Amino acid sequence: MLITTANDLAGYRIVKHLGVVRGITVRSRSVVGNFFGALSALFGGRITVYVTLAENARTEAFEHMVDHAKLGGANAIIAMRYESNEIMAGITEVLAYGTAVIVEPA
């Protein structure tokens, strides 16, 4: 599966647009994660527990998006993006989306 944030794919020709594909996950911070995050915030710098949480959420949403594209017969995704929203305190939604396409070498 080829994936790009661009609207085209260098070296390939889009032969069919299949539509929007998406992957979504909703994650919450644990009590332990909040404790260590708050402790890290006191000293400043990178808050590893939250970085890991964000990375895992994006990875999961990305994988769901790829699965959605494959189910539709795509071999590439163009214009891929991420969005995230806090649904309520401590609960975040992460969305990965793009346009599923079929490409062939140019």
For domain 2-27+57-105, give the CATH superfamily: Hypothetical protein apc22750. Chain B (3.30.110.70)
CA angle 76, 81, 86 (to 5 degrees): 140
Q: Where are the domains of the chain?
A: 2-27+57-105
Per-residue pLDDT tens for 76-103? 999 999 999 988 877 889 999 999 999 9
Look at residue 89 in the predicted model and tell me its pLDDT: 79
pLDDT digits (tens, 9 = 90+) for 17-75: 999 999 999 987 655 555 555 555 556 666 677 788 889 999 999 999 999 999 999 99
Characterize 42-59 residue by residue with b for buried, 16 or more Cβ atoms within 10 angstroms of its Cβ, and e for exposed: eeeeebebbeebeeebbe
Pairing of strands 12-28, 2-3: unpaired
Task: Give the C-alpha separation, 25 to 8, whole Å.
Answer: 27
Which pLDDT value is given to residue 57?
94
Q: How far apart are the first and last CA of the chain?
A: 17
